[in-house]
Amino acid sequence: MKYRNNFLREVEANVEEGEWVKRCMQCGVCAGSCPLGPHWEHPPQEIFMMIRAGKREEVLSSDSMWMCTSCYNCIARCPRELPITHIMHGLAHYATRLGLVPENQQTNKFAQKFWDNLSKKGRVNELKLGLSLYFMNGFMEGIKTSLKMQKIGLGMWKTKRMDPMEILGGHGCEDTSGLQAMLKKASEIEAAKKVKV
Amino acid sequence: MAATKKLGAYICKGCGIADRLDIKQLVSTATRDGKMNVVKEHDFLCNSEGVSMIQADIDSGEVDHIMIAGCSKRAKTDAFSFDSVAMSRANLREGVIWVRPESDDSEIEETTQEMADDYIRMACAEVKFMTVPASSGEQGRTPHVLVVGGGFTGLKAAVEVNKAGYEATIVEKSGALGGTAAQLYKSIPGRSPFADPQQPEIIDLIKQVESNSKINVHLNSSMDNIGGAPGRFNADINADGNIVSGIFGSIIQATGFTNYDAGQLPEFAYGKSPDVVDQLGLEMLAKEANGGAIKRPSDGKEVENVVFVQCVGQRSEKEGHLSYCSGHCCLTSVKQAMYFKDQNPEVDAMVLYTELRMPGAGGEDFYRNGQNKGITFTKGEVSEVVPGSNVTVKFQDLILNEAVELEADLVVLATGMVANSGVNVETCASEDDDAEAAAVNKEQAVLNLDYRQGRDMPQLVNGFTDSHFICFPYETRRTGIYSAGPVRRPMDMVQATEDATGAALKAIQAIENAAIGRAAHPRSGDLSFPSFRKEGCTQCKRCTVECPFGAINEDEQRYPLFNEARCRRCGTCMGACPVRVISFENYSTDTVGQALKAVDMPDEFDEKPRILLLACENDAYPALDMAGMTRQEYSAFVRIMPVRCLGSVNTIWISDALNSGYDGIILMGCQKGENYQCHFVKGSEMAHYRMSKIGDTLEQLNLEKERVQTYEIAITDIHKVPKIINDMAATIEEIGMNPFKF
């Protein structure tokens, strides 16, 4: 319903820090402070207004909150002290849970790759993460990007900033199976959470 | 004249005056040119020894008119405060040594000394034509305040006046006390944490008034006539048909406001649908619900969603709209939205605004609390409200930039305040020999003043009755009558509380000053008052028209009647009088006229022009003093004469000055017009108007127009004033000396 409080209430119930949304006073300082501002279709201020205006689909399937790089400029400047960065991530996370993320959303894809990489052994395997990022959008593009980055890669190898042997499994935390068990339990809890509408 | 006056001159040598000026020469000027009987010099005149030297001369009866040469008349006023003598001051410090360069150059020394000598001559001449001010004997103490209006502000003012030990009489036109405030379900919180609407104070206030024997209440009453002056207003109250007369010391007008009629705005469907109400309409619904669910008027359904529309017919330049912000409506809408949210958080309450204004200490907190309670604030402009079984609000969302149509159970319109200020005395029909116009005006008037300038107080702007929002709140343009509450300025009850208290204090100040025959304000304590020489008066009525405060009436013989307790002592009447019969004991066409003529005028071939500067003592003169304090130099050819207000400048001074050889004349008054700074509201405007006519006279005399210039000066213009003086000096060099030097 337009301009009714139902979507606002849904956000408050399901989105991390969502209870702050109603406290936005529409000054626009966040929109003006965002270094990526021009790339957002709807700056945070507008997202907050859209939530209050009940635009559920438009907000959750929006590309905008995925643009946030967590620079925290908006939080530092918000006169109402809204945790805007956290709300943006909260909205992105909620959209993911609901499966409303736009197809081929690059930040979303990278976030998934990062999580898959990290959750395997409890440590980020930078070589594998880099390569999976290169090949994220297809084999040919992966080869091209790899060739382009060749020099940097060799340089890092020479100065021992990158170990090519990491490709064969790589390092991890002490108790990988324990970590896996913890993560499994956590995802069970998360899945059991009902979306409150 | 001077025969009976015992004249004394006291010359201070402190603050470097003796280092820069030839004191012997000054003493001789005061003695020979100033013709002072006693002339004394002192190293440090404002210390206790110096002051007691003067006091001793006064006490021994040796002097009763004194001239003090030293610092500016604005400095050391506490030290040089002598009762029962007339006093003038020659400004040798800020006006001479601080604005002239220290130099061994004999020419500079000479012109600086001439400046000082002339100031001595001027001050001596001035004091010679003064008499010691004494109050008129017309005064009386009436510790009784008349409060017109029995709403929140009026009641509060009456209670405050009473707490200070004065009696109060309230005149209320309706049949009950409380006014608009009594119609409210709850009021905007006035105390921290500013979270929730609070129980209105009005119920308690009415009880306090009703149980107080020193506060008299007349219901169903209006003012039939108010005559007299502060300290002795005689008022006829039409109390339900009977005339009750009384004498009052001062008056507080707290006649409040009328809600703007939203019916004038067809696009908002007010009157077309019962589910569109204004803010007072919602208060009624809330009162009916009394804590339960608020029901919409059309079918009694409990309201599930409500839209508040801000700035309805206000803050708009459209025909028939109010151009101003009424200051309380945003707060009121938040309060009213809370009525719904507090009763049932599931109700959707939206405030549609273009700019939200949350004035007052707690405004912002109240807004935040409204948001926390889930009130939706949408920046949007409403184009139309369409009546129907559910009302539809059409608006443009200004953040999302899209047109929206929204159904609501109830729409509340935030309309503005229209001041109940009675007739506009500046635009109403003239009552001269027109009984019909008089009857209409009398019907519409609130105060029904027996003042020649009209039945109500002049309005400042947008129908509100004030004289200066910032510098002189409450003071109005009728001395002893103070406006408070929404008749003075749009406001909520928190501000009205402050206003009522302020006006109560002003009313008391007026009573006490009138009791001893002193000016109430801004020249508080001034004992002098205007009087006129009846045999010279031509009954032209200029003074009665030009007085910015309506102080002057006509007596039975059509002569001016000054009502000095109404007077602010600005002297605008004196400036207006074409035959110069109006004067104050210590300020008259003679005191200034003789002072400016006392200057030693060099002849045409001396190449020493003389520039007369008449400076308003409220803003321009302090600006000149501060130019001295900051050691800015200006021409030694200028002679500065402070005046009470530029409005008191009589054109005779200008022609006298030109005839006695001044080469240029500068007038410095306060800013006039809409954003006026003039302490006497219209004085500077009058002066500018009079001076605009001087041009023709100058042309007839074959004198250049540039010789007389009028400026608007603010107290902060300390860098501008020396430049104006120097520019005038340069202009005279260009156009040559005044040929009328004898």
To test the contact with chain A by mutation, choose from B355, B378, B400 the residue with the greatest count of A C-beta atoms within 10 A, namely B400
Contact A49 B397 (CB under 8 A): yes
pLDDT higher than 70, residue B645: yes
The C-alpha atoms of residue B438 and residue B137 are separated, in whole angstroms, by: 34
CATH of B261-285+297-415, one of 3.50.50.60, 3.40.1350.10, 3.10.20.30, 3.20.20.70: 3.50.50.60
CA B482, CA B253: separation in Å to the nearest integer?
Answer: 6
Using CA atoms, how far apart are residues B691 and B281, in angstroms rounded to an integer?
54
Separation of alpha carbons A45 and B378, rounded Å: 12
Q: Is the Cβ of B397 closer than 8 Å to some Cβ of chain A?
A: yes
Q: State both tokens at A63.
A: 């590309």
Preferred mutation among A11, A27, A49, A52 to probe B, highest tally of B CBs within 10 A: A49
B742 pLDDT band, cuts 50/70/90, is low
Q: What is the mean pLDDT of residues B608-631?
A: 96
Q: Which residues on adjacent β-strands are paired with residue B411?
A: B276, B307
Contact A22 B374 (CB under 8 A): yes
pLDDT at B219 over 60: yes
CA A62 to centroid of chain Cα atoms: 13
8 A C-beta contact, residue B658 and residue B618: no
Measured at the alpha carbon of residue A84, what is the angle toward residues A187 and A37, in degrees to the nearest 5? Answer: 115
Q: Using the beta-carbon criterion (under 8 Å), do A3 and B377 form an inter-chain contact?
A: no
Domains identified in chain A and CATH numbers: 6-98 (1.10.1060.10), 106-192 (no CATH)
- pLDDT for A197: 66
Q: Which of A3, A4, A26 sits opposite B379 (nearest CB)?
A: A26
Q: pLDDT, tens digit, for every residue of B165-191?
A: 999 999 999 999 999 999 999 999 998
From the candidates B371, B375, B382, B409, which should be mutated to test the interface with A, based on the most A CB atoms within 10 A?
B371
CB neighbourhood size of B4 (10 A): 7
Three-state DSSP state, B8: strand
Higher pLDDT, B70 or B677: B70
Chain region(s) in chain B for CATH 3.50.50.60 = 144-256+420-515, 261-285+297-415
A23 with B371: Cβ contact below 8 A = yes
Band (pLDDT 50/70/90 cuts) for residue B1 is: very low
**Rounded-to-integer distance, Cα A64 and Cα A31, Å:** 12
Burial bucket for residue B5 (CB in 10 Å: 0-12, 13-18, 19+): middle
Q: What local confidence, expressed as pLDDT, does residue B574 receive?
A: 96
Q: For residue A4, what is the nearest residue in chain B, using CA coordinates?
A: B348
Whether residue A5 lies within 8 A of chain B, CB to CB, comes out as: yes
Tokens 């009470």 sit at which residue? B644
Check CB contact under 8 Å for B372 and A22: yes
Q: Report the candidate in B63, B19, B22, B18 with the shortest Cα–Cα distance to residue B39.
A: B63
Tokens encoding B400? 């999302």
Of B356, B374, B406, the CB nearest to A3: B406
**What are the residue ranges of CATH 3.40.50.960 in chain B?**
1-132
Peptide bond preceding B193: is omega within 30 degrees of 0, i.e. cis? yes
Q: Report pLDDT digits (tens) over A112-153.
A: 999 999 999 999 998 999 999 999 889 999 999 999 999 999
Q: How confident is the model at residue B2 (pLDDT cuts 50, 70, 90)?
A: very low
**Number of C-alpha atoms within 13 angstroms, CB side, residue A63?**
11
- A17 vs A84: CA distance, rounded Å: 9
Measured between alpha carbons, how far is B288 from B283 in angstroms, rounded to an integer? Answer: 9
What is d(CA B348, CA B304) in angstroms, rounded to the nearest whole number?
6
Give CA–CA dist B599/B656, Å, rounded.
12
Average pLDDT over residues A72-93: 96
pLDDT tens-digit series, residues B345-364 = 999 999 999 999 999 889 99
- The C-alpha atoms of residue B246 and residue B225 are separated, in whole angstroms, by 11
Q: What angle do CA B35, B38, B41 make, to 5 degrees?
A: 110
Instruction: Say if A29 is an interface residue toward chain B (CB within 8 Å).
Output: no
Please list the residues that pair with B532 across neighbouring strands. Answer: B582
Which superfamily, per CATH, for B144-256+420-515? FAD/NAD(P)-binding domain (3.50.50.60)
Q: Could A49 and B367 be called an inter-chain contact, meaning their C-beta atoms sit closer than 8 Å?
A: no
Asked if residue B13 lies in contact with residue B42, where contact means CB atoms within 8 angstroms, the answer is yes
Cβ contacts of B32 within 8 Å, gap of 6 or more: none
- CATH fourth-level superfamily of B1-132: Lumazine/riboflavin synthase (3.40.50.960)
* Direct distance between the N- and C-terminal alpha carbons of chain B, in angstroms, rounded to an integer: 26
Supply the Cα-derived Rg of chain A in whole angstroms: 20
Comparing CB atoms, the residue among B348, B350, B399 nearest residue A26 is B399
ipTM above 0.85, yes or no: yes
